[in-house]
A and B are shown apart, each in its own frame.
Chain A
Amino acid sequence: MGTDLAEMKKEALKDFSDFINPMKVRTMRTVGLDIIEDRRSGASVWDITGQKFIDCQTGSGIMNVGRRNPEIVEALKGALDNYDMGVFLLCSKQKADLAKRLAEITPGDLKCTVFGVGGGEANDAAIKIARGYTMKTGIVYAEKAYHGHTGFALSAIGRAAYKEPFEPLIPGFTMVPFGDADALEEAVTDDTAAVILEPIQGEGGIHIPGDEYLPAVRKICDANECLLILDEIQTGFGRTGKMFACEHWGVVPDIMTVAKSLGGGIYPISATVFKEEIQDFFIPHPFIHLSTFGGSDLGCVVGLASIDYILANNLPAHAEAMGNRFRAGFERLLNDYPELLLDVRQKGLMMGLQYTNESIGPRMTKKMADRNIIAIYTGNDPSICRLMPPLVITPQEVDEVLNALEDSMKELSGEAGLGRND
């Protein structure tokens, strides 16, 4: 490592600490991930000092097409030759093209779109639309749910620590256990506007519901004339082996939110996609929900390029295949390290390793960082490691990650503080 680069890194970390967030730097340093992101390509990112890491975190799924995918970069460069962000009050071909494409690729009769910048904003819009359209107020959400840190979305997060400092939040929200259709049915009332769920919980720790759950929720919503909002922000765009996770269960929501990988890791954009009849809410209120930067023309060009890339390269199928390759390795680890690894939850390349206790998540994160892999425990539960590598990950890179996991577990198994009760 060159002295200049080492100094540059030290200064960048100090400035980040001084001007952005000191505790973030401290925490990342503790687990060996005080990386200053520099070069990025495919499944990898390089620290400013030149150290290469395979990124299995990817901002919880913003890099499905890989880091700095050349085709997406070219699309943005081309757009910059001709356009700017656009003016949100005006209409544009870029916005219309992406909305039409989203209608084509989303399941069932989802058709119309409201654009935003980030996932929280998309969920805010979904909840507002549900209340406006149904003229009801109740929102039912799940324990351990994560929908973003903005107003309505924050009220639907199933983790008290994110919410308590900001209370009182928006009223009318009821939390139920995830995966329990009976509990959800009990919580839905005549005043329920919508049920909002992730098809597979990401931040909560990669919780996959039973096969009967989402179809049952769909029926409950239909019976009670409330809307079903599915948050596909982490699960969408091929992550789970299908374009959208709800397709595993043949369930079509009334409103679907997407973000993260819609932006190809290059440009922020989100979308709230809903059925045509819900558009009736906007006909008398065409300007009731606006976003200055939502669906910028540059973002829409990137969004189209990202979707085209995912489809042209059949990334959902590749995610399924690479997921299977991971699974074979996980089976060996489950067998060899029962004192460390309790369970693996997985759909395609949405993967969660359930460790035996809460100290193992941070300790494994550090050991994986020492082996040049970014694999971080979840905020909701440090006993769970969430693995969400880019969908373009190669078989060789999958093997590198598995080898690093095995080496890390082998080293950890000789240390203190393992097992369920420690």
Chain B
Amino acid sequence: MATTQEILEALADYQVQCNNNKRLRKMQRDWTKLLHFFAEDTGGSFSMEVVKGEIISFKSGAEGTPDVVVTANSEDLCDMFWGDLNPNSKYLAGEIRVKASQEDIMRIDAISMIIWPDA
């Protein structure tokens, strides 16, 4: 089980990885979304705001109307943000659930492909 603090640390690293990747920033420059993440085992929730491909903020708590909702256990969320877990296999097992358009799911997967190409 991952704590809220651990997930926030993972999110901070994810933000740095995404925002420092010029190729990714250019690729996602038309992507502005609000994402919510729910840790179903701890009841924790998190928000991430992406504006023109840049993660401009993240925080504990889910406010606003999200474009993307990801639900998983806290450990999987943490591993996903650290790049230690390929979310696709968990998604196909129903252990990570995503409510989003096909296009937004592809965008999220594209982030993983660019920042962790060997995962």
CB-CB under 8 A from B21, the residues of chain A are none
A422 on interface, CB distance cutoff 8 Å: yes
* B-facing residues in A197-247 (Cβ within 8 Å): none
Contact-size category for B:
10 to 19
Q: Would B109 and A362 count as touching, CB distance under 8 A?
A: no
Q: Would A416 and B93 count as touching, CB distance under 8 A?
A: yes
Q: Would A359 and B109 count as touching, CB distance under 8 A?
A: no
User: Can you report 27 A-B residue pairs in the complex whose CB atoms are below 8 A from each other?
Assistant: A22-B113, A23-B106, A23-B110, A26-B113, A30-B92, A31-B92, A161-B102, A165-B30, A358-B99, A359-B91, A359-B98, A362-B91, A362-B92, A363-B93, A363-B94, A366-B92, A380-B102, A412-B94, A415-B93, A415-B94, A416-B93, A416-B95, A416-B97, A417-B95, A417-B97, A422-B94, A422-B97
Total A-B residue pairs with C-beta atoms closer than 8 Å? 45
B88 on interface, CB distance cutoff 8 Å: yes
A417 with B94: in contact, given A30-B88, A382-B102 (CB under 8 Å)?
Answer: yes
* B-facing residues in A362-400 (Cβ within 8 Å): 362-363, 366, 379-380, 382
CB-CB under 8 A from A321, the residues of chain B are none
A23-B106, A362-B91, A416-B93 given. 13 additional CB < 8 A pairs?
Answer: A30-B109, A31-B92, A161-B103, A165-B30, A359-B91, A359-B94, A363-B93, A366-B92, A412-B94, A416-B94, A416-B95, A417-B94, A422-B94
Q: How far is the CB of B64 from chain A (nearest CB, A)?
A: 21
In the complex, A380 Cα to B103 Cα: how many Å? 10
CB-CB under 8 A from B109, the residues of chain A are 23, 26-27, 30
Of A27, A161, A165, A418, which one neighbours B94 at CB under 8 angstroms? Answer: A418
B101 on interface, CB distance cutoff 8 Å: yes
| A interface residues (Cβ-Cβ under 8 A, vs B) | 22-23, 26-27, 30-31, 161, 165, 358-359, 362-363, 366, 379-380, 382, 412, 415-418, 422
| B interface residues (Cβ-Cβ under 8 A, vs A) | 30, 88, 91-95, 97-99, 101-103, 106, 109-110, 113
Max count, chain B CB within 10 A of own CB: residue among A26, A412, A422: A26
CB-CB under 8 A from B110, the residues of chain A are 23
Q: How far is the CB of A196 from chain B (nearest CB, A)?
A: 24
Max count, chain A CB within 10 A of own CB: residue among B88, B101, B102, B106: B102
Q: How far is the CB of B119 from chain A (nearest CB, A)?
A: 10
Q: How far is the CB of A7 from chain B (nearest CB, A)?
A: 19
Please, which residue of chain A has its CB at the minimum distance from the CB of B30? A165
Q: Would A161 and B92 count as touching, CB distance under 8 A?
A: no
Of B91, B99, B102, B113, which one neighbours A23 at CB under 8 angstroms? Answer: B113
Q: How far is the CB of B52 from chain A (nearest CB, A)?
A: 14
CB-CB under 8 A from A362, the residues of chain B are 91-92
CB-CB under 8 A from B93, the residues of chain A are 363, 415-416
In the complex, A30 Cα to B90 Cα: how many Å? 11
Please, which residue of chain A has its CB at the minimum distance from the CB of B94? A417
In the complex, A416 Cα to B94 Cα: how many Å? 5
CB-CB under 8 A from B103, the residues of chain A are 161
Q: Would B101 and A161 count as touching, CB distance under 8 A?
A: yes
CB-CB under 8 A from A417, the residues of chain B are 94-95, 97
In the complex, A382 Cα to B97 Cα: how many Å? 13
CB-CB under 8 A from A359, the residues of chain B are 91, 94, 97-98
In the complex, A352 Cα to B81 Cα: how many Å? 36
In the complex, A419 Cα to B48 Cα: how many Å? 27
In the complex, A314 Cα to B109 Cα: how many Å? 45
CB-CB under 8 A from A161, the residues of chain B are 101-103
In the complex, A279 Cα to B108 Cα: how many Å? 50
Q: How far is the CB of A14 from chain B (nearest CB, A)?
A: 12
In the complex, A22 Cα to B113 Cα: how many Å? 9
In the complex, A214 Cα to B3 Cα: how many Å? 58
In the complex, A366 Cα to B93 Cα: how many Å? 10
In the complex, A415 Cα to B96 Cα: how many Å? 12
Please, which residue of chain B has its CB at the minimum distance from the CB of A359? B97
Please, which residue of chain A has its CB at the minimum distance from the CB of B40? A416
In the complex, A148 Cα to B91 Cα: how many Å? 30
CB-CB under 8 A from A165, the residues of chain B are 30
In the complex, A56 Cα to B102 Cα: how many Å? 21
